[in-house]
Structure 1
Amino acid sequence: MARNAAIEPVSGISITIPLVLLAVLSAAVAVQSGFVATGAPDMSVAPPQTIVIAPHRFAYRDAAEYFRNGLAVDAPRLDMTMASPLEIMKYQTTLRDYDRCVADAICAPAENLGDTSSREVTPVTGVSYDDAIQYAAWLSDHTDTEWRLPTDFELAYAAADRFPDDALGIDPNDRNPANRWLADYEREARRAAAIDPRPQPQGSFGISQTGLVDFAGNVWEWTSTCNKRVELSKKDLSGDPDSRSCGIMIAAGKHRAPMSSFVRIPKGGGCSVGSPPDNLGFRLVRSRGLLERLTERVEGAMTHMFEPAMSPTAEQDDDES
């Protein structure tokens, strides 16, 4: 007598994994075969050395200028968690690397005031925000990877213990202007210019806990964050200004400095408030491509699917730890 064959249900995992893998592989094949345009990178331009900042919790004070009833108050300091890793240049962009963009007639020559004999290890300075954006676009074209300026938030996340806290440190309800004047005076005194403001070779100003080199030395770094003013006494707060139409950007170093986007030499003017930076330079963030993000998601999904199921007791212990 013939026996009925048992038909096993097809699991969702067995269907999902091949479909996701197929999507990733199809994207890879499309790129490799040329169906998806990726540009023609000039491999003679080596990408800069980067580090990956692992997700971690950190304290961040907003870069905006906060006021209450016309009086300056400290921006809120919040405990933030970055959910994704950040890939950023380990060192600031060097003169040698910037010179290649100049040689291609894409970037304007830098107004570097320091020693230029060791261009391969000396950070480029005397460059504006606009110059930095132009270089990022050039580097992206020549490495087939998207490079951009970090936001103030991302730079704080990457610099970790080296990032400054610009708080005045006074009671926000204190309405005595003399106290604010004194606190501001003391803060500016701590921001005195460096004894030797000339750009120094890589590694001259130490390294952060996260591996970022030379941040908060005598080169301030351009960010893509637009300077803004927040009046807390108003009920309706305007949204964040668009950096594409913003004329005042945040440069970060020993302290934050709002700078006009076209300024190259900060001591020549353009700093809206406070002591000007010694120099202006930059480092860039590498944006992960579509295929990288897809692959990362697939790997994460597969890891999650095949993780052994935790017992209720183990899951509770893990949460409590």
Structure 2
Amino acid sequence: MKKISFYLLLFTLTSCKWEEPSFNTLFDMVLIDGGSFDMGRRANDNILDTQKRDDEVPVHSVTLGSFYLSKYEVTVKQYRDFCAVTGRTAPANQKEENPVVGVTWNDAVAYCNWLSQETGQAYRLPTEAEWEFAARGGNKSQGFIFAGNNSLAEVGWYDANSGRSIRPGGQKQANELGLYDMSGNVWEWCSDWYGPYSKEPATNPKGPSTPTQGAVHVHRGGSYLYGSIYCRITFRGGPIFGSTPNVETFTNNTIGFRLAADAK
């Protein structure tokens, strides 16, 4: 059954190609060379800070090892293949070519674990620090406010240009690393629990070990229903205002995910 499901997956993911033969995968994965950067809202990030939040500071030095990140967000079709094999409920009323939304953090982790078993590669969600480093352009960063440009319209779908609809990945300009839709389209789950920043330097940080009251796991990047302020690279999703979320079952029709993997 496992062998059959693997070939079903290989056959159905026709939109996937790979650019590095040394890494056996069905997905577009980009190698992000490790390095050090200042994480958080910097002085030159204040162009759109009319609604800046205190959780974007203090700026702190972070050093990361190399890792892979998928060029695109996981699509509805890719997630439905997972549901078909595992018996999970597939998302309804979503176009197959669009990024999947309405999945819990646990669903996203389960998808990563399943894909790891099917392919022999260890997939996971990116840490929040990995996500921000990659969105900034890694070691090729040009210091943009959004992922790839200071004009959000060039790189992302948000409330002013989306028509209040999710769009297929890759229709806008990529960032410096060739990653698409890191700003806008759909929020992306990270592996970390949401929590305050420390001012201390960190190496490969993984966030708090327990949830913060009133918050869920970190999600980054903003979405098609949100304004440009929320699509800034440094903006952090996590606090859920006006209610006490169930962190195990929390979903939203603007949150999806993309894949990460360790560099070997």
TM-score bucket (shorter structure): 0.5 to 0.7
Structure 2 CA distance for aligned equivalents of residues 72 and 81 of structure 1: 22
Match of 2:9, SS state, is coil
Q: Which residue of 2 aligns with 1:100?
A: 81
**Deviations along 1:117-146, whole A, 9 cap, x unmatched?**
xx2x32111212121111111111111111
Report the 3-state secondary structure (helix = DSSP H, G, I; strand = E; otherwise coil) of the residue aligned with 1:208: coil
Match of 1:148 in 2: 124
Cα 1:203/1:243, change in 2 over 3 Å = farther
Paired position in structure 2 for 1:89? 70
Contact 2:68 2:262 in 1 (8 A): yes
* Mapped pair 1:42 → 2:42: no
Larger radius of gyration: 1
How far, CA to CA, are the matches of 1:136 and 1:163 in structure 2? Answer: 29
The 2-side partners of 1:208 and 1:231 are apart by 27
Q: Does 1:251 align with 2:219?
A: yes
What does 1:176-215 align with in structure 2 at a 5 Å threshold?
193-195=159-161, 196-215=163-182
User: Highest relative contact order (Cα 8 Å, sep 6+), 1 or 2?
Assistant: 2
Amino acid in structure 1 at the alignment position of 2:170: G
Report the Cα offset of residue 90 of structure 1.
Answer: 0.7
For 2:256, the equivalent position in structure 1 comes to 281
Question: How far has the Cα of 1:163 moved from its partner?
Answer: 6.9
| Structure 2 SS opposite 1:135 | helix
Partner SS for 1:283: coil
- Percentage of pairs with the same residue: 25
For residues 286 and 60 of structure 1, what CA distance do their matches in structure 2 show?
21
Partner secondary structure for residue 104 of structure 1: helix
Aligned to 1:80: 62
Separation of aligned partners in 1, 2:70 and 2:252: 23
CA distance in 2, matches of 1:223, 1:256: 11
Q: What is the aligned partner in structure 2 of residue 60 from structure 1?
A: 39
Distance 1:126 1:94, change over 3 A: same
Distance 2:55 2:117 in 1: 43
Post-superposition offset of 1:106: 4.5
* Cα distance in 2 for residues equivalent to 1:89 and 1:200: 17
Q: How many residues align?
A: 193
Which of 254, 265, 276 aligns to 2:252? It is: 265
Corresponding residue SS for 2:69: strand
- How far apart, CA to CA, are the structure 2 residues paired with 1:96 and 1:81? 35
Residue in 2 that maps onto 1:223: 190
Query: Structure 1 residues 244, 104: closer, same or farther in 2, change over 3 A?
Result: farther
Alignment of 1:119-134 (within 5 A): 119=96, 121-134=97-110
Structure 1 residue matching 2:86: 3-state secondary structure: coil
Give RMSD over aligned pairs: 3.4
Gaps of 5+ in 2: 11-25, 42-52, 138-143, 148-157, 200-205, 222-230
Unpaired runs of 5+ residues, structure 1, are 1-38, 63-70, 166-191, 233-238, 267-278, 294-321
Distance 1:92 1:243 in 2: 26
Whether the aligned pair in 2 keeps the contact of 1:205 and 1:217 (CA below 8 Å) is no
Task: Mark the CA change 1:242 to 1:100 in structure 2 (over 3 Å): closer, same or farther.
Answer: same
Q: Which residue of 2 aligns with 1:241?
A: 208
CA distance in 2, matches of 1:197, 1:103: 29
- The normalised TM-score by structure 1 is 0.52
Q: Deviations over 1:141-190 (max 9, x none)?
A: 1111111111110101111156769xxxxxxxxxxxxxxxxxxxxxxxxx
Give how far 1:93 is off.
0.3
**SS of equivalent to 2:6:** coil
Match of 1:311 in 2: none
TM-score, L = length of structure 2: 0.62
Q: What are the Cα deviations for residues 234-276 of structure 1, in whole angstroms up to 9, with x where unaligned? A: xxxxx9532689971111011321155422225xxxxxxxxxx
SS at match of 1:87: strand
